[in-house]
């Protein structure tokens, strides 16, 4: 039996047997993996924190026949602010949900791991909605499903001033209303996506943030078949 030390973010915990859980961890060193953790449902369990949502810790895993068990953990960051505010909590859960959907066991996911940790840290102190939109654009790109926020691919016109346009789920790009096929999208949605992606011309409104998150949810579900319950809950809250 070998012990493995990983820096990891706890993405999901599922109950197992009477007192155990099975964790999905996103690690910096070994990508996404699942690991059992024993006894954490008992009152006063020493490692209870290590099975909490978005716990960022150094985990020591025992490896046997390709299966991991958490035997020790020391917390690096608890993201306390994300546990005391319901909106921030759901936004943070949506980060974990997207990370689960966009990573695969056995693949190197170091960049997505760093992105998740950075995003959770940013969310503690700033607007969680806009931070979540920026995160989703970034991880979709890293996973190979990047959304193009450039000019219309058919005619080359700038879309920044358009009231209404289309978004093509297959290509992940926007175009003029008359230039292609796809779902209808308002200019405010596009503006928020541009702003969250770091462009100076994008305008941010509350309605736009909600619309942008709805579009990102549909797109992510279309590409990965993932159920995005936390993201859905967050959209309802804002
Ligand atoms: Zn066009």
Instruction: For residue 162, name the pLDDT band (cuts at 50, 70, 90).
Output: confident
Instruction: For residue 122, name the pLDDT band (cuts at 50, 70, 90).
Output: very high
Q: In angstroms, what CA-CA distances link 11 with 48, 59, 126, 153, 194? A: 15, 13, 21, 37, 28
Instruction: For residue 2, name the pLDDT band (cuts at 50, 70, 90).
Output: confident
Of 2.40.50.140, 3.40.50.920, 3.40.190.10, 2.170.150.20, the CATH number of 2-77 is 2.40.50.140
Tell which residue, 91, 110, 135, has the closest CA to residue 32: 110
Mean pLDDT on 119-139: 97
Q: What is the pLDDT of residue 202?
A: 83
Structure tokens at 108: 């190197």
Of 1.10.599.10, 1.20.1440.120, 1.25.40.10, 3.30.2270.10, the CATH number of 80-237 is 1.20.1440.120
Mean pLDDT on 96-115: 96
Share of the chain above pLDDT 90, in %: 94
Whether 186 shows a pLDDT value over 80: the answer reads yes
Whether 9 shows a pLDDT value over 90: the answer reads yes
Tell me the CA–centroid distance for residue 131 and ligand 1, in Å. Answer: 29
Mean pLDDT on 44-68: 95
Rounded to an integer, what distance in angstroms lies between the CA atom of residue 171 and that of residue 167? 9
Q: What is the pLDDT of residue 139?
A: 97
Q: At what angle do helices 187-196 and 128-142 cross, to 10 degrees?
A: 80
Q: What's the mean pLDDT when you consider all of the chain?
A: 95
Q: What is the pLDDT of residue 66?
A: 84
Q: What pTM did the predictor assign? A: 0.95
Number of residues that this document lists for the chain: 238
Tell me the CA–centroid distance for residue 219 and ligand 1, in Å. Answer: 21
Tell me the CA–centroid distance for residue 193 and ligand 1, in Å. Answer: 18
Tell me the CA–centroid distance for residue 74 and ligand 1, in Å. Answer: 53
Phi (first) and psi of residue 81, to 5 degrees: -60, -25
Instruction: For residue 168, name the pLDDT band (cuts at 50, 70, 90).
Output: very high
Tell me the CA–centroid distance for residue 179 and ligand 1, in Å. Answer: 5
Whether 156 shows a pLDDT value over 90: the answer reads yes
Tell me the CA–centroid distance for residue 155 and ligand 1, in Å. Answer: 4
Tell me the CA–centroid distance for residue 198 and ligand 1, in Å. Answer: 23
Tell me the CA–centroid distance for residue 173 and ligand 1, in Å. Answer: 11
Mean pLDDT lowest among 121-130, 173-182, 197-206: 197-206
Q: What is the pLDDT of residue 160?
A: 87
Rounded to an integer, what distance in angstroms lies between the CA atom of residue 234 and that of residue 18? 31
Domain boundary assignment for the chain: 2-77, 80-237
Burial of 200: CB neighbours in 10 Å, binned 0-12, 13-18, 19+? exposed
Tell me the CA–centroid distance for residue 162 and ligand 1, in Å. Answer: 10
Share of the chain above pLDDT 70, in %: 100
Dihedral (CA of 195, 142, 162, 211) sign: negative
Burial of 143: CB neighbours in 10 Å, binned 0-12, 13-18, 19+? buried
């Amino acid at each position: 039996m070998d012990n493995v030390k990983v820096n990891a973010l706890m993405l999901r915990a599922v109950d197992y047997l009477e007192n155990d859980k099975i964790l999905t961890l996103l690690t910096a060193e070994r990508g996404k993996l699942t690991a059992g953790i024993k006894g954490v449902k008992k009152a006063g369990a020493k490692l209870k924190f290590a099975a909490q949502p978005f716990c960022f810790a150094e985990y020591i895993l025992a490896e046997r026949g390709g299966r991991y068990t958490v035997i020790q953990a020391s917390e690096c960051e608890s993201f306390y602010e994300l546990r005391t505010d319901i909106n921030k909590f759901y936004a943070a859960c949506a980060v974990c949900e997207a990370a689960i959907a966009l990573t695969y066991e056995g693949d190197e996911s170091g960049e997505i791991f760093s992105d998740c940790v950075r995003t959770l840290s940013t969310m503690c102190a700033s607007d969680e909605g806009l931070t979540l939109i920026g995160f989703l654009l970034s991880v979709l790109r890293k996973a190979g499903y990047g959304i193009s926020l450039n000019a219309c691919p058919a005619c080359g016109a700038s879309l920044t001033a358009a009231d209404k346009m289309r978004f093509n789920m297959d290509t992940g790009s926007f175009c003029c209303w008359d230039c292609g096929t796809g779902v209808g999208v308002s200019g405010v949605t596009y503006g928020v996506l541009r702003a969250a992606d770091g462009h100076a011309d994008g305008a941010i409104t509350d309605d736009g943030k909600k619309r942008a998150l709805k579009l990102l949810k549909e797109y992510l579900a279309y590409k990965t078949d993932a159920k995005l319950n936390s993201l859905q809950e967050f959209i309802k809250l804002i």
